[in-house]
Chain A
Amino acid sequence: MKKVTFSFDDKRYKGLLGEPMAAALLRSGLLSITKSTYHGRPRGVVGLGVEEPNALVQLVSGTMESMRPATVIEVAEGLAASSLTGVGSLPDIPENARYDKTNRYVDVLVIGAGLAGLRAAEAHLLAGREVLLIDDQPAPGGHLRHLGLDLPSDLRDLLTHKKLTYLSRCTATGLYDQNYVVAIERRSDHLGSAAPVNSARIRVWHIRADQIVLAPGAFQRPLIFANNDLPGVMLSHAAATYVAVHGVRLFKRAVVATVDNQGYRDALRLHQSGVKVQGIYDARAEAKGSSVEASRAAGIPIRFRATVLDVAANKKGACQRVTLQDLDTNETYKISADLLAISGGWTPIVDLATHIGIKPQWSEEHAAFLVNHNTEQLRTVGMLAGDFGDDEHPAVFFGPVLDDEQARRAYIDLQRDTTLHDLRRAVGAGLHSIEHIKRYTTIGTAHDQGKTSGMITIGALCQLNGFAQGGKSSLSPAQVGTLSFRPPYVPVPFAALAGRERGLLSDPIRITPIHQWHKEAGAIFEDVGQWKRPWYFPKSGESMEDAVRRECVAARTGVAMMDASTLGKIDIQGADAAVFLDRIYTNLFSTLPEGQCRYGLMCKTDGIVFDDGVTTRLGKNHFLMTTTTGGAARVLGWLEEWLQTEWPDLKVYCTSVTEHISTIALVGPKSRQLLQALVTDIDLSKEAFPFMHSRMGTIDSIAVRIARISFSGELAFEINVEYGHARYIWERLWSLGQPYDLTAYGTETMHVLRAEKGYIIVGQDTDGTQTPHDLNMSWIVSKKKEFIGKRSFQLPYLKATGRHQLVGLLPEDGSEVIPEGAYITLLNAPTDEHGKTSHIGFVTSSYYSPTLGRAFALALVADGLNRMGEVVDIPIGKKVLRANICDAVFLDKENIKSQL
């Protein structure tokens, strides 16, 4: 294996590429890796993988990810990490690594590439199924890897099967209903500085499998005794693996405390690697099996009915001397040892199964909670299903009886520094449910979510609850019950969850076909829903205020144009189209002659204004509706809902053409002259082409539909053209318009122009409580027909006085633009006993009008239509502005200009 150099706490270490950082540190002689979070006690490596409760580090290279166990970090050139005490921190640097996510449907998903998972995969492959095999280790084999053994050759061949996808370093983090699994694959960290830039660091897999096989394996668990947290106290399987496989030579003399035959196997491995195993202390009364015989044959002393009671530390705080206890006589004796290897039994990884509500079952024989599930969709195999092999025979034993002083030093959750004493206090306080105790003591709430502490908590509670409930004996773990686990199984960085949905890709940006021109023209853009719309087009050195004034003046006195392509457009056709529109809009459309346009307002059933726009009758049974930019999808959904659920008898079809048709608004007194130079087959004169009429024609042989629609009150033309030709028409107008000083304008100028005319924007000048009457638009409400919302107008609260109504506001100081959203109060309104003044409404739209030469605003004011001429106060911080309530139409009240 390739040698690499990495750093830990600013010191350089040598390691082998891909080996766990914990192994490299131990081999270098570093036993104490960190200090505990709350008690400040020295702590070392305990386990082998994600179950590690102690050895958390902070990466200081690469993405500087925090709170990762040293047992799962693979050593690579350039890796740098520092020790971490409980609380991690996010680096104050941008996250530039790549993250992505993908979806995968597969016949069979096998979780876990240990022997059981591999055998399950093999069976499914033989049956002709496609298999996705995921495993959180760098290579397949599970426990075989910990034993330093290669895969049997038939299983090695299996990995190249063409119907198998095998993902290493891929951890299933959640199992959900319908066989849906989320997994995270760490793709590049192990490559260190050699990681390719085009590979995602972490990929999130969304997997839907017809069948799932859970083969997650098991974690070894510790025992509860005093000072069980000292560096040098390790799980036996981990200790033996570090020594036998990773060449750790740190330990000279070991003691093994066990409740099963795993302790014997690990003792043998330690012994064979040159560690002096001074004894196996087995809590059981006797033990049988090949590992026991082999240990005996190797000359390792074995003592039954004995276990570890306490550990004494050396000056560095690491394990030095072990106190053992005879469980029958309570007699104690001490042995010097720098390694105390613990085998407290196996805890199968039930997490994923419990995510979907499966309850693990206690097995006395296995001294473990198992999940034996065997349905067509989901099957458990291996240790999770109770396949512990035939050489295990564990006892249900969690540790010796400890006195109060010992209990304070007997750790249950090493990361949370919670002890047996804390657990006793919880039970003493009257808690007995494991879920309550978890929350009271914080056991199982750290990064490892109780992977090693959960089962020994249950074990301790068996005794504590049994006595607390007046019993004389201990309960069975089946009576205490298990913890329920929730996803994710391991911590997942937020960046991985975000995937590629960051920055520009975080939300769609919708653009019109003319967008690139706007960009090149230096437009400043505004977000309107997902659309990017030009807000204003500043010339060099111009402020927003300057630009908007110039654009407004051009529209009112010369000619200006804007890109109105974002308007929603719905093609409506069918024999009942006119009837349908009569029911949708508050005003009549069946009377609209062909080739003409009409402004329409629609309400929801509650009588509240919902959307508005101009609809054109293209033919007898054919209309083109326009909606607000933000309302396009909503309105189409609304129309379809009524057609499909309420009026299926109506012969009407609706089709969205929002993007098929682009719209350019050409506005201003000189617009006719300019456009007529380009359009030769339509007479644009007032007589031939009146206001609110629509004509088909061509521009340079491109089909266009021109409509005399005005959202500014000026003479204006809307040019509708197919998407692909919009940019051409825009540029044609632009070059032809230069002699007229044609000005491009954005949404801000559009707002000023429409507000000067009192034209509402639904959603800006309404707050979801206005009827057409509240907007002073009774004229648009037909009395001759039924339409959606009409009946609600009879509701008392919609007829009551005092409703917020749309009015105009003229600030007394004409240079002062009132902030939008500002509250309006009565003139010199008194304050109540709390020093507050009640408001009578608020400002909805507010601008400076170059045409009026002053600021003006629209507002919703209680009973506003009956307050014309009234002076009101508008408190802005400590300042109070004054304004006159007036009609909402500020310009050309007779609508002469648009009809010119």
Chain B
Amino acid sequence: MIAKLSPLKGINIGNVATVAIRELSGLTTFDLRVQPKTASQSAITNALGMALPAKPGKVLGHVLCLAPDWWLLVGMQDAAQQLASIRLMDDHHFSIVEVSGQRTTIELEGPHAREVLAHLWEQDLREQKFLIGSVSQGLMASAPVIVWHVAQFRYRVMVRSSFALHLWEALEDAAVEWVDALPIR
């Protein structure tokens, strides 16, 4: 199997004692669109064997709810196959599209992770406002991103692949007080 090349080649800088920034390459992702509270959604949750987070901004396991009828499934390689049988039935209206190459994921970890993000992110990152297990979309350094609060002091920024290098350089700049930048361009 020929390895996939990720936009940032799996780069990794910094240190978790302050802040580490790394690309998590190769996360399989799917876009799932379906009307909530419909038979189609029930069929999907049955087939996936798990519930979908009910509100935009919520994360359940590896499923991010991005809009009332839009979910992102992260690292669930078999999702499309699991839904293949429902797909053949015309009475169910939904779409599942693989978008693994659409974005890459940059993870920030460490006590200063929030501070680094705050340089580029206008939304409220306070622990009690952007809870662990929350997700939000917006522009970071003018690039469209999804920000996911994965765990304490750990955030994922999912960025469109074409913008990844730009965002990486902006993050490096934001982290310059803690991290020695590496040449990447």
Interface of A with B (CB < 8 Å)?
98, 100-106, 198-199, 206, 208, 500, 504-505, 507-513, 531, 566, 571, 573-575, 651, 653, 655-662, 700-702, 722-728
Contacts and interface: CB of A to CB of B under 8 A. Distances in A.
Pick the 4 closest A-B CB pairs, nearest first: A724-B4, A723-B101, A653-B95, A510-B162
Interface stretch (B53-61, B74-82, B123-131, B148-156): B123-131
Given A655-B31, A655-B97, A727 B5 contact: yes
Contact of B2 (A199, A571, A725): A725
A100 B177 CA distance: 12
Q: Which of A208, A658, A701 has the most CB of B within 10 A?
A: A658
Interface string B1-42: 111111100000000000000000010000101000000000
B93 A575 contact: yes
Contact of B95 (A98, A574, A725): A574
Contacts of A103: 118-119, 121-123
A513 B161 contact: yes
Contacts of B118: 102-104
Contact of B98 (A206, A508, A509, A660): A660
Nearest to B170: A505
Given A102-B119, A198-B176, A208-B124, A659 B103 contact: yes
B166 A508 contact: yes
A868 to B, nearest CB: 43
Query: How large, as a class, is the contact surface on chain B?
Result: 35 or more
Given A658-B102, A701-B2, A100 B173 contact: yes
B97 A512 contact: no
Interface in B129-184: 129, 141-143, 160-163, 165-167, 169-170, 173-174, 176-177
Given A508-B167, A651-B93, 15 more contacts: A103-B118, A105-B125, A504-B169, A505-B166, A508-B166, A571-B95, A653-B33, A659-B101, A660-B99, A700-B2, A723-B101, A723-B102, A724-B6, A724-B100, A728-B5
Interface of B: 1-7, 26, 31, 33, 90, 93-95, 97-103, 115, 118-119, 121-126, 129, 141-143, 160-163, 165-167, 169-170, 173-174, 176-177
A510 B102 CA distance: 13
Nearest to B95: A653
Contact of A105 (B31, B126, B170): B126
Contacts of B166: 505, 508-510
24 contacts: A100-B119, A100-B174, A103-B123, A105-B126, A198-B176, A198-B177, A208-B124, A507-B142, A508-B142, A510-B162, A511-B162, A512-B162, A513-B5, A531-B162, A573-B95, A575-B93, A653-B94, A657-B97, A659-B102, A659-B160, A659-B161, A723-B161, A728-B2, A728-B5
Contacts of A513: 5, 7, 161
Contacts of B170: 500, 505
B102 A660 contact: yes
B1 A701 contact: yes
A201 B166 CA distance: 23
A512 B5 CA distance: 12
A4 to B, nearest CB: 25
B102 A724 contact: no
Given A102-B119, A500-B170, A504-B169, A722 B161 contact: no
A193 B176 CA distance: 19
A617 to B, nearest CB: 15
Contacts of A504: 169
A657 B119 contact: no
A199 B173 CA distance: 10
A511 B102 contact: no
A660 B95 contact: no
A500 B174 contact: yes
Nearest to A576: B93
Contacts of B121: 103
